[in-house]
Amino acid sequence: MQRNTPRKRANLRDVAASAGVSVATVSRVMNAPETVAKATRKKVEEAMNSLHWVPSAAARAINSGRTRFVGALVPTLDNAIFARVLASMESRLATHRLSLVVATTDNDPVQEAEKAKGLVDIGAEGLMISGVTHAPEFYSLIERSQLPTVSTSFYDPGYRLPTIGYDNAAAARTALTHLTDLGHRRIAVVHGPSASNDRTRARISGLEGHSPKPDLSFFEVQLSIAGGCEAGLAILQAADQPSAVLCLSDVLASGVLFELQRQGVSVPHEKSVIGLDDLVGSAHLFPELTTVHLPVSRMGAAAADAIASWVETQKIPEPSLLNSDLVVRASTARTGTIGGHPVARRARTDFGK
């Protein structure tokens, strides 16, 4: 809005000229103001203002060798669990004066590799990625660029990249044990697409060889509330009704819960339902969801610290295992105790639609 502003953005030289000092002095008032005489500083600052000068990030980066941002690759933002990880990463990164570039991969290794390439291209100083199964192009990119990259949501000290995460198999087993401890033997397992998701596969594998050996039936659906509803309906149509539903993800558990209610099945009286994740909302569902807590906020912060320190010290961080633990709430109950009382079933069937 100044006079007939000369089209182009002002640069250091312009400011220096306008203030009648050298470029070095201008640079100093930005980076070490205390080394510049007060009067000079003032002149320079005025010049900066009147020219609407904003330092060029690129020029700064080329000298410092730092862009001050890192990238994160997650499957989706629509599952609150990833949103949580990113939120905590972002806030922790801020303490290192680092920003976060987000890219979603939709669980597709090809997209993941492409987006990773994009992040490297724009100058990310480090990367966070979910899981331990990636495209060869991804690995070669990391190799070539030597980019500090940590893998999350999975703990595997033998993996080629440092992992910061939890033991997915153990978490699933914890949930199963809780159910068998309560006397459940016929159990429906609901999970998302396993082909494209190594965390899901690990969780499923954690269910194997359990003792006592339960009778498990598997339902694979989309990883969404709608998917959970679908599974809930499918379970009710099965020949042998399970007494409990083990969901390998809280979103799925929510859907199952809603659908069971819609169909007039009471939880935990007629069926127990357990989740895995412990989303912030899970504690407030009706009934409050029993689940296995995954420390995703801590994980995001830990990943941020690991990347920041790697970038700064050049030292590869150690893998880190975060514990998960069972949170017993209201959606699971001992089998048989109240069983046989189809509580409120009739009263509820006319609800909804």
Partner DNA sequence: CTGAAAGCGCTAACAA
Partner DNA sequence: TTGTTAGCGCTTTCAG
Token duo for residue 336: 């048989």
Single out the residue of 1, 39, 195, 239 in contact with DNA (rule: CB under 7 A).
39
Structure tokens at 236: 């009710």
Find which of its own copies, DNA, none residue 22 binds, CB within 5 to 8 Å per kind. Answer: DNA
Please give the Cα distance from 342 to 329 (Å, whole number). Answer: 21
How many other CB atoms sit within 10 Å of the CB of residue 133?
16
Q: Is the dihedral angle over the CA atoms 191, 194, 198, 203 positive or is it negative?
A: positive
Instruction: List, as own/partner pairs, every contact residues 46-53 make where C-beta atoms lie below 8 angstroms and the sequence separation is at least 24, other chains included.
Output: 46/19, 47/15, 47/16, 47/18, 47/19, 48/15, 50/2, 50/18, 51/10, 51/14, 51/15, 51/18, 52/2, 52/9, 52/10, 53/9, 53/10, 53/11, 53/14, 53/15
Contact with its own copies (CB under 8 A) among 210, 216, 330, 339 = 330
* Candidate list 2, 4, 7, 37; residue touching DNA; CB under 7 A: 37
Please name the residues in contact with 146: beta carbons below 8 A apart, sequence gap of 6 or more. Answer: none
Q: Does 122 bind DNA (CB under 7 A)?
A: no
Question: Is the CB of 33 or the CB of 342 nearer to DNA?
Answer: 33
- When binding is defined by CB under 8 A, the residue of 130, 163, 249, 254 that contacts its own copies is 254
Backbone dihedral angles phi then psi of residue 128, each to the nearest 5 degrees: -120, 135
Window 6-45: residues binding its own copies (CB under 8 A): 9
Q: Is residue 61 near its own copies by the rule CB under 8 A?
A: yes
Neighbours of 88 (CB within 10 A): 19
> Residue 200 in contact with residue 194, Cβ under 8 Å?
yes
Q: Which does 101 bind (CB under 5 to 8 A by kind): DNA, its own copies, none?
A: its own copies
Binding mask 1-30 for DNA (x = CB under 7 A): -------xx-xxx------xxxxxx-xx-x
Cβ closer to its own copies: 84 or 199? Answer: 84
> 104 touches which of DNA, its own copies, none (CB within 5 to 8 A by kind)?
its own copies
In the complex with DNA, which residue's Cβ is closer, 62 or 347?
A: 62
Q: Which of residues 51-70 bind DNA (CB under 7 A)?
A: 53, 55-56, 59-60, 62-64
Q: Binding of its own copies at residue 262 (CB under 8 A)?
A: yes
Q: How far apart are CA 276 and CA 171, in angstroms?
A: 7
- Using CB under 8 A as the binding rule, the residues of this chain from 118 to 157 that contact its own copies are 118-123, 143-146
Given the complex with DNA, which of 5 and 337 has the nearer CB atom? 5
Place of tokens 């899901």: 200
1/163 Cα distance (integer angstroms): 52
Cβ(81)–Cβ(296) under 8 Å?
yes
327 binds, among DNA, its own copies, none (CB under 5 to 8 A by kind): none
Of 53 and 310, CB closest to its own copies: 53
Q: What residue ranges bind DNA (CB under 7 A)?
A: 8-9, 11-13, 20-25, 27-28, 30-31, 35-37, 39-41, 53, 55-56, 59-60, 62-64
